[in-house]
Structure 1
Amino acid sequence: MEHSLLHSIKILKKEIVMDDLLCDFDTKNRAVKNLGAFSSTYMSKEAEEVFIKFSSINAVDSCAYPEIEEMSQYCGNFLLNMFHAASPERYQFFPTSGSSEAIFLAILLFKNHWKVHHPDSTIKPNLIIHQTSHVAFVSAAKALDVELKIIQKDYENLRWNLSQLKENIDKGTIGVVCTLGATTTLVMDEVEKINAVLESISEHSDYLIPIHVDAASGGFIAPFVHPDFIWDFRLSHVKSINVSSHKYGLVYPSLGWLCVDEMICDDNLKNENTYLGKSIKRLPLHFSHSASHVATQFYYFKNLGWSGYADIVKDLYQKNKLMVDALKEVPELEMLTPNHLFSIPGVIMRSSNEKHYDLQALSQYLIKLDWHLPVFNNNVVDEGASQTWAARIVIRYGLTEDLIYQLLGDIKGYFSSQFS
């Protein structure tokens, strides 16, 4: 009797939990209507089937599943080709849990490379970033005891202040970070100009200061639509690049990659083990992880290829133009996304009357219609401003024209009801 009662209670609790999880939680619709997310919220039906099929497989276990290692190799070589690695054998690549882990590993490699060339230095190593760099660099620098030097933007055009960059470089500088699609501006840094500054410095030094490019978002954008935009391994100082498959690579979270020049690699930093039946040496911090992500990225690379990705990215920019042109007709909003610089598809905007509560109110209104519009403090666009409230709309795969027209109608409907 007691056993039967306990069994019934367990079944009842299970049903309650499932009801709580599934009730009023439309994951597909809410994810696609999350306007500020950079991560993929939509995959094709076939890609989802691949994702599910490989979900139970541990990607690290190359002894039991050598096919996954072959898929990873294919993906890494595809990326190296995307990033113009002239001699792929000179480079290594590592799948990571995302760009945050890749960023940590890149700084670790940069710091170690600097120490090898400055074995007797008592200077605290420093890394130069800019004010739109991802917060992951702050976290990684703290963990690795690296000082951060933060360069300000030129507020008139959102470009790097190159003279300030040059002034901040010293014998403790382990590297410089550029971003291809900042979260607060969507702008792609002019890496070629920063590379030129470092080349001028290297003429008078025996130490080459490397550049790390955080291409989490833009790495899957620039190669397909901006072929003349030079930012990758074609540049002499670019020695590492991170990119996220779970952003414009079209794969669900969480998969990133770190591609690095052999020049800054050190096998002594890799961890060796024989847990799975053979000796494995790995740099990434994460160990067991599902093969779903690598398998799905492999599927997309094989089925879309270069031309397929190019078609998708061009379509995103067409939708972006549709969005921007329509929002420019809304007098209550001001577009902050610069037209004169390369940027990933999306919109940064603020209230044109500078009353930030209007933007907050718009966000709350859209929530009732199942949209999520993030409003955040974006003081990088106004010199001396302590608070400049802005909102971000990211144009991603899966955001259809019908949804865009629906969103535009909802935004215009809000302002017409408030100010008519």
Structure 2
Amino acid sequence: MVLSEHADPETIVDTLARLNIRKKSHIHSLAYASRFATQDIPKYTLPETSSEAVVAYQMIHDMLEFDGSPAKNLASFLSTWMEPEAEKLMVENLAKNLADQDEYPATMRIQDRCVSILSHMWKIPSGQKAVGTATVGSSEAVQLGGLAMKWRWRDARKAAGKDVSKPNIIYASNAQVALEKFARYFDVEARVVPVSEKSRFCLDVEKAIKLVDENTIGIYVIMGSTYTGHYENVEAMSKALDDLQKRTGLDIPIHVDAASGGFVAPFASPNLKWAFDLPRVVSINTSGHKYGLCYAGIGWIIWRSSEYLPQGLVFQLHYLGGSEATYTLNFSRPASSMIAQYYNLIRLGRKGYTDIITNCLTNARLLSCALEKTEIFEVVSDIHRPRGQFYNSHGTAKCSPPSDYTKNSSFNDGLPVVAFTFSRKFKEDHPDVEQQFVVNLLRARGWIVPSYPLPPDCENIEILRVVVRESMTEELVELLVTDILWAVNGILEEGQHFLSKHTQPSSHNRAEAFTSDKKPDGKHVYSRVC
């Protein structure tokens, strides 16, 4: 959660009064106050009296109108649309507490089924009985996976009479912040593996294996980097650890952080080995609210078997009416998101998920190739390149894909993510143009596209990133490319004046295509080819 600070209304009033600005900024100014004959409502303190429900609703509704459009938020992995039937199920079950297993046995049976479905999706071997639980998201789930590895390591060390004061965990520098939180919150040394262009900005297996010692509780391997969408090589890491165990006797487990890839790889890359078909993988987490296609609030973690979940972490509760086993970081949480996940699983099935994920990847490939063909950008992500061809900063791996964007087996595996940066030639020709200028201008058109440096050791490359979700249609891809070119060409033609002029969204005419390379005055104009 984002941290918020207390606001002192008296301080705000005094400050604004000295500046001759609105004197009642600490009070909601109700647009419909005269119609509903209500009094002012304070913003930062609890009102002394009640308000009519219609007034409270309208005030909050109008306030939230200033949020951005979910369809144009290209920074987020979270799903922003579900079918009306799923929303109806969620509303019908808003009052149910997933922690109260005795009161809601039918709800718990749905969770059991989801765990079973995910276990099979992730290739649990025949004869093994996986265990798992729903969480509020992958951030909680990855903490649970790390704790289980820590406790197993600690128990084994204690049984051998060895020191347990210096646990460490290994992951790459492209890790999402949830992995860093685990190490910091639970007193585990983080051994962070530098990434490089050679490792495709992900975990370098050769460097990772050198960091392993007897105090290593496990390795986090990421199925879907939030930076570039690349998958880390779980199979190669597994083989390296197998070899290490033969040489040293160290038995190091893998937890797969499949926050996004857990619902992408099974459908787009069904033959890829990354899950429970690798014995070294002991647990996997995913976010149902990313490519599981649910609204925010649902994640999952599955262990290969109860052997990998120390019973000391499992609490037996009796005060809600029955005996309940629980292993979560929080307690009460809504059941509605978990029920929505089950709806998606049975509603879509393997074919439905495959079609949706393939469509996301297809649009991501379309966007990638369109951006590269402008020659303004080079694309750092690789899902649009033929299998085995990868980005390099020398620009020799240009987009030359097969004609069928929908054939996943012809392309590199990865998330539907497009990471791109100004091309070397563009930067040489226009050294004063910053990518942040493009970000700001796109924001004026309603698009949210983040710009940030790659992880440490590669921070000299600053990328823009677009997450292609189910709601990103081919038409939106075309509009996005058009607006990117509008921004770049405007900066080149008018400079700072163009930036200042377009600080607010304005209506504009999107040309169907740009056909000329140069204007009559000789200025370069970049074109799009989709």
TM-score calculated relative to the size of structure 1:
0.92
| Aligned residue number for residue 151 of structure 1 | 193
Matched, 1:70 2:109: yes
Q: Distance in 2 between matches of 1:386 and 1:70?
A: 47
Q: Is the 8 A contact 2:169 2:216 kept in 1?
A: yes
Deviations 1:230-286 (A, max 9, x none): 000011210010000000000001111111122321122112222210011211112
Matched, 1:373 2:449: yes
Q: Distance in 2 between matches of 1:356 and 1:345?
A: 31
* CA drift at 1:204: 3.5
Greater mean deviation of Cα atoms: 338-347 or 17-26: 17-26
Q: Distance in 2 between matches of 1:56 and 1:285?
A: 21
| Aligned residue number for residue 150 of structure 2 | 111
| Aligned residue number for residue 225 of structure 2 | 182
| Aligned residue number for residue 3 of structure 1 | none
* CA drift at 1:296: 0.5
SS for the counterpart of 1:23 is helix
Greater mean deviation of Cα atoms: 82-91 or 358-367: 82-91
Q: Distance in 2 between matches of 1:272 and 1:56?
A: 24
| Aligned residue number for residue 296 of structure 2 | 253
Matched, 1:82 2:124: no
Q: Distance in 1 between matches of 2:485 and 2:249?
A: 59
Q: Mark the structure with the bigger radius of gyration.
A: 2
| Aligned residue number for residue 414 of structure 2 | 343
**Counterpart mapping for 1:9-408 below 5 A:** 9=39, 10=49, 18-23=57-62, 25-26=64-65, 30-87=69-126, 89-119=128-158, 120-122=161-163, 124-158=166-200, 160-261=203-304, 262-338=306-382, 339=385, 340=390, 341-352=412-423, 353-354=426-427, 358-379=434-455, 383=457, 386-408=459-481
Structure 2: where are the runs of 5+ without partners?
A: 1-36, 40-48, 391-411, 494-530
Q: Distance in 2 between matches of 1:330 and 1:35?
A: 20
Q: Distance in 2 between matches of 1:253 and 1:378?
A: 26
Deviations 1:155-174 (A, max 9, x none): 23415433322221111111
> Which amino acid in structure 1 is aligned with residue 297 of structure 2?
S
Relative to structure 1, is the Cα distance of residues 395 and 310 closer, same or farther in structure 2, using a 3 angstrom cutoff? same
SS for the counterpart of 2:472 is coil
Relative to structure 1, is the Cα distance of residues 379 and 165 closer, same or farther in structure 2, using a 3 angstrom cutoff? closer
Q: Distance in 2 between matches of 1:112 and 1:209?
A: 13
SS for the counterpart of 1:298 is helix
Deviations 1:13-41 (A, max 9, x none): 87665444323745897112110101111
* CA drift at 1:332: 2.3
Q: Is the 8 A contact 1:84 1:234 kept in 2?
A: yes
May I ask how many residue pairs the two structures share in their alignment? Answer: 411
Q: Is the 8 A contact 1:117 1:207 kept in 2?
A: no
Deviations 1:161-194 (A, max 9, x none): 3332222111111101100111112110111000
Q: Distance in 2 between matches of 1:182 and 1:365?
A: 27
* CA drift at 1:103: 1.0
Matched, 1:415 2:488: yes
The answer to which structure has the higher helix fraction is 1
Q: Distance in 1 between matches of 2:355 and 2:98?
A: 30
> Which amino acid in structure 2 is aligned with residue 377 of structure 1?
P
Deviations 1:286-309 (A, max 9, x none): 211111111101111111111111
Q: Distance in 1 between matches of 2:212 and 2:122?
A: 26
* CA drift at 1:126: 0.7
* CA drift at 1:218: 0.4
> Which amino acid in structure 2 is aligned with residue 56 of structure 1?
A
Q: Is the 8 A contact 2:102 2:324 kept in 1?
A: no
Q: Distance in 2 between matches of 1:160 and 1:374?
A: 23
> Which amino acid in structure 2 is aligned with residue 193 of structure 1?
A
> Which amino acid in structure 2 is aligned with residue 235 of structure 1?
L
Identity of aligned residues (%): 29
Q: Distance in 2 between matches of 1:310 and 1:363?
A: 32
Deviations 1:87-135 (A, max 9, x none): 4753211111111111111111001100111113225011111111111
Q: Distance in 1 between matches of 2:143 and 2:334?
A: 21
Q: Distance in 2 between matches of 1:379 and 1:350?
A: 15
Larger relative contact order (C-alpha < 8 A, sep ≥ 6)?
1
What is the root-mean-square deviation in Å for CA atoms of aligned residues? Answer: 2.2
